[in-house]
Structure 1
Amino acid sequence: MIEEINKALQILKTGGLILYPTDTVWGIGCDATNEEAVNKVYKLKERVDSKALICLVADDRMLKKYVKNIPAVALNIIDVTDKPTTIIYDEAQNLASNLIAENGTIAIRIPDDEFCFQLCRRLNGAIVSTSANISGFPTPNSFKEIQPAILKGVDYVVNLQREKICSKPSSIIKLSNSGVVKIIRE
C-alpha cells in the first residue's frame, strides 16, 4: 500500500488526476486546493462546474482547515455514524474556488479507509472524491464497470482493491450554521 500511496501522491502534487478506491465507490481524485486539477475533473466527468464535488479529509483537525465554523453536531454525527457520511458545511475556506458551491458550501467526508486516510494525511490536505463515471451514467459498482474514457482520462490508476464490489455512495447531510439539518441522500 505504501508504494501506491507514494505513486498517487506524486500525481496529486503535480496537479494530476488519480482513480482510486474509497470507503464507498471508486473515485476520481485530485488535490482539492488546485483549481486547474479540479477543472480537469469536471472536464473528464463532462460535468458542469456548478455541481459541487465531495472532498475527503483525514480527520477532524484537517476538517477545521477547510470549514470556518464546524457545527458541534457535525462531530457527533461523524463519531456515531456506522456508514460513510458526507456532510455539507457552510463557509468553506482554503480550497480551490471552483470546488466551493456558489452558496459557499463544501461537501466533506472523513473516510473509514486506511488508503484514503494515509493519502490525505501524507498530502496534508483534502482530496477530491467524485464517482468514477461520466455525468449521467450509473456509478460503477466495481473496477470492471469503470468506463474506458475515465480510465484513459486519469494520470494514475491505484492498483488496490480492484476485485472489491463497492458499496453505495455515501449518505449526504447538509448542516447549516443556523442549526438546520437536512438529509440530501440516505
Structure 2
Amino acid sequence: MKDEIKKACDVMRKGGVILYPTDTVWGIGCDATNEEAVKRVFEIKQRADSKAMLVLVDSPVKVDLYVEEVPDVAWDLIELTTKPLTIIYDGAKNLAPNLIAADGSVGIRVTNEAFSKQLCFSFRKAVVSTSANVSGQPAPAVFREISDEIKNAVDYVVDYRRDETGHPKPSSIIKLGKGGEVKIIRE
C-alpha cells in the first residue's frame, strides 16, 4: 500500500489524474487545488464543469482549510456518522476555482478508509473524488466494473483493492446552510 500511495502522490504532484479506491466506490482523483488537473477530470468524465465534484480529506481539522466558516453542527455530524458522509459547505476556499460550485459551495468528505485516508495524509492537500464513470453512466461499485475508457484516460491506476467484490454504496450527502440548516441530498 505504501508504494501505491507514493506513486499516486507523485502523479498528483505533477498535475496528473489517478484512479483509486475510496471509502465508497472507486474514484477518479487529482490535486483539488490544481485547476488544470480538475479540468482533466471533467474531460475524462465528459461532464459539464457546472456539476460539482467533492473532495476527500484525512482529518476533520483539514475541513477548516477549505471552508470559510464551518458550521458548529458539522463537527457533530462528522464525529457521529457511522458511514461515509459528504457535507456540502458554503464559502469554499483554497481550492481550484473550477472545483467550487457556482454558489460558492464545495462537498467535503472526511475519509476513514485506510488507503484514501493515507493518500490524503501523504499528499497533504484535499484530493478530488468523483465516481469512476463517464457522466450519465452507472457508477461502478468495484474495480472490474470500471470501463477501459476511464482506465486508459487517467495517468495512474492504483494497484490496490482491485479484487474486491463487495458492493459499496455512495456516501450520504448533506448540505449545511447558513444558520445551521440541514438539507439531506442523498441518504
TM range (shorter): over 0.9
Letter in 1 for 2:148: P
**Aligned counterpart, 2:177:** 176
Shift of 1:116: 1.0
Provide Cα deviations, 1:92-139, integer angstroms capped at 9, x if missing partner: 000000000000000000011111111111111100000000000000
CA distance in 2, matches of 1:183, 1:123: 30
Contact 2:174 2:184 in 1 (8 A): yes
Which segments of 5 or more consecutive residues in structure 2 lack a partner in the other structure? none
Q: Paired residues, what number?
A: 186
Which segments of 5 or more consecutive residues in structure 1 lack a partner in the other structure? none
Structure-to-structure mapping, 1:116-131, within 5 angstroms: 116-131=116-131
Shift of 1:168: 1.0
Runs of 4+ in 1 over 2 A off after TM superposition: none
Provide Cα deviations, 1:35-71, integer angstroms capped at 9, x if missing partner: 0000000000000000000100111221110011111
Which TM-score applies when normalising by structure 1?
0.98
Name the SS for the 1:64 alignment partner.
Answer: helix
Which TM-score applies when normalising by structure 2?
0.98
CA distance in 1, matches of 2:121, 2:62: 9
Identity in percent: 55
Contact 1:69 1:177 in 2 (8 A): no
**Aligned counterpart, 1:7:** 7
Structure-to-structure mapping, 1:1-186, within 5 angstroms: 1-164=1-164, 165-186=166-187
Provide Cα deviations, 1:13-55, integer angstroms capped at 9, x if missing partner: 0000000000000000000000000000000000000000010
Contact 1:16 1:30 in 2 (8 A): yes
Shift of 1:162: 0.7
CA distance in 2, matches of 1:130, 1:43: 12
Contact 2:60 2:78 in 1 (8 A): no
What is the root-mean-square deviation of aligned Cα atoms in Å? 0.7
Shift of 1:166: 3.7
CA distance in 1, matches of 2:60, 2:185: 22
